[in-house]
Amino acid sequence: MSIDANDFYQALANESRLRCLVLLQRQGELCVCELTHALNLSQPMISRHLALLRESNLVLDQRFGQWIYYRINETLPDWVRSVLQTTAQANATKTPFAADLKALNKMPNRPSTGCCT
Amino acid sequence: MSIDANDFYQALANESRLRCLVLLQRQGELCVCELTHALNLSQPMISRHLALLRESNLVLDQRFGQWIYYRINETLPDWVRSVLQTTAQANATKTPFAADLKALNKMPNRPSTGCCT
DNA sequence: AACATATATATGTTTTATCGTATATTTAAA
DNA sequence: TTTAAATATACGATAAAACATATATATGTT
């Protein structure tokens, strides 16, 4: 999966999308309602930003029943993976990224995190 | 020198600025007229993009006579330096970055590259 | 079949970024 | 003290991004 540097940074240049990517990088896989809750944004907002990330090949989606899970595209070039990983790691404790993870962990009725999934 | 991840990626989200940064990362230090020639853009365009990079602390400038040289801010946090370096390296041979360096090396009357500077 | 939940898309509006052009500033040289 | 070269800034026009809201689609449940 190839990607243009300019397209890549265009996709990162929005706080909501950056927060989604950092959270996905840290959590591996999240559905839309989890991201919506974690970032405290409207569902259409999250959905549209995810669509843009999907269209630029940064994330992949997969449906499980009524939920659609997003994850970082594991076939991205090494340098892109590296940038995402470095960014997520260096900013994990900073605003707003730390709060996003906190909010995610406080989410009630989170799908797929029960004992039987 | 601290920097906000969102501000950082905002600054990268423009092809002209990205090309400037990649070229600076590779060449160390360049004046405005060199960047203008290498990227083949108007002087005010380059100047305004450099101003934005300067205002977001990504680059530093230094005057030498009538020329003003820009360079990547060496006091940026490690993760930012790492992202810039990784990006420059991985994209060096790709469009438009390879052509920019080529054009720079073909520039006639380049300042400060003579034998006595 | 009717309804509820999760997600996606469409539309109109507002905000933000970019660009071309003109002009100002600074320095060096004549 | 003009003049030229390098650079920066200002201004108006255009384009792009983001947003709120409404609605559509797909799945699961009763």
Q: What is the pLDDT along chain B (117 residues), one digit of tens a residue?
A: 889 999 999 999 999 999 999 999 999 999 999 999 999 999 999 999 999 999 999 999 999 999 999 999 999 999 999 999 999 999 999 999 999 999 999 999 899 754 444
Across the range A20-25, mean pLDDT stands at: 98
Per-residue confidence at A34, pLDDT binned at 50, 70, 90? Answer: very high
Is residue A32 scored above 70 in pLDDT?
yes
Verify whether the Cβ–Cβ distance B94 to A5 is below 8 Å: yes
B49: the nucleotide nearest its CA (via C1') is C18
Which tokens hold the place of B35?
Answer: 């960047």
Instruction: Give A71-99 pLDDT, tens digit per residue.
Output: 999 999 999 999 999 999 999 999 999 99
B55: the nucleotide nearest its CA (via C1') is D8
By residue count, chain B amounts to 117
Strand (E) or helix (H) holding A31: strand A30-31
Which pLDDT belongs to residue A112? 72
Which pLDDT belongs to residue A68? 98
Domains defined along chain A, listed by start = 5-103 (1.10.10.10)
What is the 8-class DSSP label of residue A1? -
**B89–chain A Cβ distance below 8 A for any pair:** yes
- Proximity of residue B43 CB to strand D below 7 A: yes
* Cα dist from A99 to A70, A91, B45, whole Å: 20, 11, 38
* Predicted complex ipTM: 0.94
Distance in angstroms: CA A31, C1' D10: 47
- In chain A, positions 30-69, which contact chain B (CB-CB < 8 Å)? none
**B92–chain A Cβ distance below 8 A for any pair:** no
Which pLDDT belongs to residue B113? 57
**CA-CA distance, B49 to A98, in Å (whole number)?**
31
Across the range A37-41, mean pLDDT stands at: 98
Which residues touch A31 (CB under 8 Å, ≥6 apart)? A64, A67, A68, A69, A70, A111, A112
Which pLDDT belongs to residue A1? 83
Instruction: Give A45-61 pLDDT, tens digit per residue.
Output: 999 999 999 999 999 99
Residue in B closest to A91 by C-alpha? B5
φ and ψ at residue B72, rounded to 5 degrees:
-65, 135
